[in-house]
């Protein structure tokens, strides 16, 4: 008997599945021969180009009006302008081309056939469209500055305003004042080396935003924390810029593939409570504090009170973040860019010498590799995550990422944390609990309560700042030594300054201040002594 593999019949071998299901003809027009296969469906070039425009408009236009449409579609009347977040990559290049064709140039090939070309829905939707690019080359060594290249690319399109930012603007007080941020005088920093994240006053605040940025990134514990922090800083810069330009909508070129990567990596980093914000969110900045002198007196006239109510509602500004390409995969975006002659500037990978890939990079490599063999994986991930709902109540917004924070997270994290205990004296251990030597009271020896950044953070941001790596992490900027106290982004300092000046708000954010300590057996007996029954 041979131990080798038996000879298999040719008919017994499993046939390789075809890339298309039934026919080589296009599934839309049924006539032309297909040029592209998308998730086992065949499309010709002409039908595919119209399909991309249809999916783009179907995702974006229901979010244009402040309130969703009812049974009948109404005219598109946004509350403000439009800001396009541009990175130079494939998705943002496709997004910019679609926005220009559909809403600026008013290309007739992108218009719906019903209603005619002069239908009101074919009028210009946004009065002003701006494109914002955030240069991140100063956050990582060896990266090329692409600002000029991006500016030349934007000039190809007429009717667009170009806004250029740099990642260090997140620590620039002059930029914060320029975009209309609330001024603050306190100069606070945080001790990232301590997991309690104590707030300290900066002895000498650096006037150079670039130095503050690199010191902040060099003090983060893991490569994942560094890349996540850069993404958070970029998103907040775009949000405040949208508010400054009077934009009611901020659109990103996040494709279906990129969205699946963001969802999985976000859950892996602890931001599952904000999983819906990864798809679409309505961001409202922290409202300014209103003094008692600014509150209008009660009016006996009903018309005056109604006017004041409308005025108050009008002052509330919201930026709606939309990802119009979330129904288009990376393959579809690449095919549409190729057939539509859309130039792609490209963007470099984030990294530095000696750094290991973070959670986001590993997740992207896994999902992109899996999508090649199983094309429906990405859409399944996004559909499944779309069915998830956050559990628990919302306790304000995170002071760092400006996303909803879950109530009671820090108490839950304190209960599940494993902390090291101080070493026990062997002589005291041998003497047993009846040892007359009295230990110093933990309360008496404890340090006085110090202000901490922890109560203001969501679970994901707190984990990002305090997670430790098993291996030493090489700093992206070795010349900038890790500082004991690092500067915080300007919007974080502004909210801390506002909370410091308002006692009611501070008590609302912190709630009860709890202190955990080890209680001796005798002390526990004294506490419950009056409730014990006599033998």
- Smallest CA-to-CA distance from 185 within 169, 215, 205 is with 205
pTM of the model: 0.80
In a domain, 531, yes or no: no
Mean pLDDT computed over 507-514? 38
138-152, 177-191, 226-240, 307-321: which has the minimum mean pLDDT? 307-321
Quote the CA–CA distance of 58 and 52 in Å, as a whole number.
10
> pLDDT category, 120, cuts 50, 70, 90?
low
- Long-range pairs of 201-204 with CB within 8 A, sequence gap ≥ 24: 202/485, 202/487
- The pLDDT value recorded for residue 482 is 64
In a domain, 44, yes or no: no
Summarised one tens digit per residue, pLDDT across range 82-99 is 999 999 999 999 999 999
Quote the CA–CA distance of 180 and 241 in Å, as a whole number.
10
In a domain, 528, yes or no: no
CA-to-CA dists, residue 105 to 108, 157, 159, 186, angstroms = 9, 9, 8, 48
Summarised one tens digit per residue, pLDDT across range 193-202 is 777 888 888 7
Mean pLDDT computed over 124-130? 91
The pLDDT > 90 percentage for the chain reads 38
Q: Which domain holds residue 104?
A: 64-68+76-287+316-348+355-418+445-522
Give me the CATH number covering residue 158. 3.40.50.620
Quote the CA–CA distance of 342 and 334 in Å, as a whole number.
9
- Smallest CA-to-CA distance from 177 within 491, 509, 526, 449 is with 491
Summarised one tens digit per residue, pLDDT across range 372-408 is 888 888 999 999 999 988 888 888 889 999 999 888 8
Backbone region of residue 159 per phi and psi (left: phi > 0; alpha: psi in -120 to 50; beta: other values): left
> pLDDT category, 443, cuts 50, 70, 90?
very low
Quote the CA–CA distance of 401 and 457 in Å, as a whole number.
8
In a domain, 302, yes or no: no
The number of domains in the chain is 1
- The pLDDT value recorded for residue 444 is 36
In a domain, 150, yes or no: yes
Q: Are strands 129-135 and 81-86 parallel, antiparallel or unpaired?
A: parallel
Mean pLDDT computed over 270-295? 72
In a domain, 24, yes or no: no
Q: At a CB cut-off of 8 Å and minimum separation 6, what does 383 contact?
A: none
In a domain, 224, yes or no: yes
If you average pLDDT over each of 464-468, 482-486, 506-510, 522-526, which comes out highest? 464-468
116 vs 511, residue with greater confidence: 116
- Smallest CA-to-CA distance from 362 within 215, 473, 264, 253 is with 264
In a domain, 32, yes or no: no
Quote the CA–CA distance of 393 and 454 in Å, as a whole number.
18
Let me know: does 251 contact 80? Beta carbons within 8 Å: no
Let me know: does 328 contact 256? Beta carbons within 8 Å: yes
């Amino acid at each position: 008997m041979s131990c080798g593999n038996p000879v298999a019949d040719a008919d017994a071998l499993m046939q390789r599945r075809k890339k298309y299901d039934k026919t080589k003809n296009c599934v839309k027009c049924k006539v032309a021969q297909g040029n592209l296969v998308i998730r086992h469906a065949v499309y010709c070039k002409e039908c595919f180009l119209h399909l991309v425009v249809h999916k783009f408009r179907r995702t974006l236009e229901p979010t244009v009006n402040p309130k969703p449409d009812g049974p009948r579609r109404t005219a598109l009347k946004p509350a403000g302008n439009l800001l396009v977040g541009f990175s130079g990559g494939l998705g943002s290049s496709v997004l910019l081309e679609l926005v220009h064709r559909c809403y600026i140039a008013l290309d007739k090939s992108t218009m719906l056939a019903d209603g005619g070309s002069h239908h009101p829905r074919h009028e210009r939707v946004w009065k002003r469209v701006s494109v914002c690019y955030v240069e991140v080359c100063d956050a990582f060594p060896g990266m090329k500055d692409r600002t000029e290249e991006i500016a030349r690319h934007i000039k190809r399109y007429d009717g667009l305003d170009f806004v250029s930012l740099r990642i260090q603007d997140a620590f620039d007080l002059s930029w914060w004042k320029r975009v209309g941020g609330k001024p603050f005088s306190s100069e606070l920093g945080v001790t990232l080396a301590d997991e309690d994240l104590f707030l300290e006053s900066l002895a000498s605040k650096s006037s150079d935003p670039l130095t503050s940025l690199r010191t902040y990134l060099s003090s983060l514990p893991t490569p994942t924390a560094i890349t996540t922090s850069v993404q958070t800083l970029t998103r907040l810069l775009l949000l405040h810029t949208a508010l400054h330009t009077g934009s009611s909508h901020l659109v990103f070129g996040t494709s279906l593939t990129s969205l699946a990567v963001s969802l999985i990596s976000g859950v892996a980093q602890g931001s599952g409570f904000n999983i819906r914000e990864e798809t679409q969110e309505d961001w409202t900045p922290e409202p300014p504090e209103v003094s008692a002198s600014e509150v209008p007196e009660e009016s006996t006239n009903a018309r005056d009170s109604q006017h004041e109510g409308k005025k108050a509602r009008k002052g509330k500004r919201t930026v709606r973040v939309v990802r119009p390409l979330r129904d288009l995969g990376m393959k579809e975006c690449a095919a549409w860019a190729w057939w539509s002659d859309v130039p792609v500037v490209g963007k470099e990978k984030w990294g530095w010498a000696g750094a290991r890939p973070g959670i986001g990079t590993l997740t992207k490599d896994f999902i992109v590799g899996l999508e090649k063999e199983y094309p429906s994986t990405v859409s399944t991930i996004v559909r499944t995550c779309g069915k998830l709902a956050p559990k628990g109540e919302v306790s304000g917004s995170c002071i760092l990422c400006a996303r909803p924070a879950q109530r009671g997270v820090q108490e839950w994290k304190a209960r599940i944390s494993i902390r090291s205990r101080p070493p026990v004296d062997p002589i005291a251990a041998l003497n047993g609990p009846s040892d007359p030597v009295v230990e110093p009271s933990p309360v008496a020896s404890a340090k006085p309560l110090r202000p901490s950044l922890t109560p203001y953070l969501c679970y994901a941001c707190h984990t990002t700042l305090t997670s430790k790596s098993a291996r030493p992490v090489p700093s992206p900027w070795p010349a900038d030594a890790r500082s004991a106290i690092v500067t915080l982004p300007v919007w974080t300092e502004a909210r801390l300054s506002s909370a410091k000046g308002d006692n009611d708000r501070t008590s609302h954010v912190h709630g009860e201040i709890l202190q955990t300590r080890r209680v001796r057996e005798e002390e526990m007996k004294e506490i419950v002594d009056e409730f014990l029954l006599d033998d």
